[in-house]
Amino acid sequence: MERKKVNSSSIRAVGYGERGQLLEVEFNDGRVIQYTGVSPEVHRRLINAPSIVSYFRDNVEESFPAKRVKG
């Protein structure tokens, strides 16, 4: 999955696969975590949020099943 760099204090890049509703988050420390069941709307709001990390913590981190794929 291709990830796009974002301007965030702790998140380096975000990727999204609409077909499988899979969100991939790459952190500055090298970890990559995939979240399943993420709607296109949540992805859109995440990448357009004034604070990506705040939106992530409030609306993604504890709301969707996660799997660490790197780091």
How does pLDDT run across 6-65, given as a tens digit for each residue?
999 999 999 999 999 999 999 999 999 999 999 999 999 999 999 999 999 999 999 999
Helices (H), 1-71: 40-48, 52-59
Residue 1 has pLDDT above 90, yes or no: no
| pLDDT value, residue 67 | 97
**Domain membership of residue 63 as a residue range:** 3-70
* Long-range CB contacts (within 8 A, 24+) of 46-51: 46/14, 47/4, 47/6, 47/14, 51/8
| pLDDT value, residue 3 | 96
Contact, 36 vs 20, CB < 8 A? yes
Question: Who has greater pLDDT, 49 or 71?
Answer: 49
Residue 71 has pLDDT above 80, yes or no: no
Count of structural domains, the chain: 1
